[in-house]
Structure 1
């Protein structure tokens, strides 16, 4: 089967990576580079990288989206855990203890910080706000009933 420009480019990527890793000398790399330019079939390309860790595909595949073999792709960094906002936890605790006004104030401040700094703990801030507002409504109702 005839090879296309993209196939030659993938083969060159394998050769470049092998040269960078010290698997090929300068002369070997230059000889294979010239041979890739002259290659017309998949078989000719496969022979040029057969002794390397990764070579070109044996047949075209529409599912391959990356021009570089997965062997030579950089390793993604591990995901880092986001820090939990302290004021969100303070808002939740204040709401649960019965300190309604501080729960509302710290909840709003915490939500603003969470959005600005991309932090975790929004659920705690929202729950603190809900409990704080319910507490404020309860105490307002108690005061109004007491005055009547």
Structure 2
């Protein structure tokens, strides 16, 4: 009978050099890309080759027949239906959002101040100039009174100007009267003293 067993390697003798097995470098490490989606079209992995020296693995035991299905649960009792949720209501903003005024051909209507009476303006100007040229205070007072009567009748603006013209005009006239009276008194006293001297 021939011996069919494989020969075992000879045991090294003590002190004999035993070379280590040849070094094989491991495959380099490649970090997986976390952002890369798996490719669904990759080929399936090849089935491992059958190793005849591997220990045979017993097939898994046959699965037992499934037990009878449990009975279906009883239907839930019918309750009154819950009230329907109200439709979404937008929350009003405070203050209300800006809505531009509609465009009109005439544009936006502005409330204008009433027209100023020209006599009131003239009265004020003449009275102020009368501070330099005293004689102009008299027409300033006259025009101021006329302007006040027109403003009451027509409702125009400029009442303040007319009153200012009257007040300044009266002040100018009063100063003019005082000035004239001063000169009259001085002239009369000078004339009296001259006439008294000429009488001797």
State the TM-score, normalized to the length of structure 2. Answer: 0.35
Q: Which one has more relative contact order, counting CA pairs under 8 Å at least 6 apart? A: 1
Q: When you count helix as a share of all residues, which structure comes out higher?
A: 1
- The structure with the larger Rg is 2
State the TM-score, normalized to the length of structure 1. Answer: 0.47
